[in-house]
Each structure stands twice: as structure tokens, then as C-alpha cells.
């Protein structure tokens, strides 16, 4: 994990309402976690961060 911004150096992370919450090794597991959160809490803003490309995308 990069200490300056809290984002992982590898794998994937869920950014929930602007805060890094959970890290995952694979994209599939990150998407499954995001789907579960969105199902339980539909108003949350969830972004999926990819450490390899250093980009986050909105999860709808």
C-alpha cells in the first residue's frame, strides 16, 4: 500500500465515498465485493481502483 494516498501498489481496491476501504488480488473479486456493497447500500458511490494502470473507474 502506498502510504501517501492509501492506494495499493498491486491488485485492486474499492473506494467507497472517496475513501479506500478494501483491497483485492483480482478484478473479479473486487467486482464481486462492489456488487455486494451496491446491493446492500445502493446510495454508496463506489469506484474500482486498478493499481497496475493507476486508474479508478465508477462502479454502477
- CB proximity list for 6: less than 8 A, separation 6 or greater: 19, 20
Q: Above 70 in pLDDT, residue 4?
A: no
Name the strands in the sheet holding 12-16, side by side, starting at the edge strand that comes first in the sequence.
19-24, 12-16, 46-50, 55-59
pLDDT per position as a tens digit, 16-54: 999 999 999 999 999 999 999 999 999 999 999 999 999
How far, in Å, are 16, 35 from residue 12 at the CA level? 13, 14
Going by pLDDT thresholds of 50, 70 and 90, the confidence category of residue 2 is low
Cβ neighbours of 20 (radius 10 Å): 18
The pLDDT, as a whole number, for residue 6 is: 79
How do the domains of the chain map onto residue ranges? 12-59
| Sequence-ordered alpha helix ranges (H) in the chain | 27-40
Amino acid at each position: 500500500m502506498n502510504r501517501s494516498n492509501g492506494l495499493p501498489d498491486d491488485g485492486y481496491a474499492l473506494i467507497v465515498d472517496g475513501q479506500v476501504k478494501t483491497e483485492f488480488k483480482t478484478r473479479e473479486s473486487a467486482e464481486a465485493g462492489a456488487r455486494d456493497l451496491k446491493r446492500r447500500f445502493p446510495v454508496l458511490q463506489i469506484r474500482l481502483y486498478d493499481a497496475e494502470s493507476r486508474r479508478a473507474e465508477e462502479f454502477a
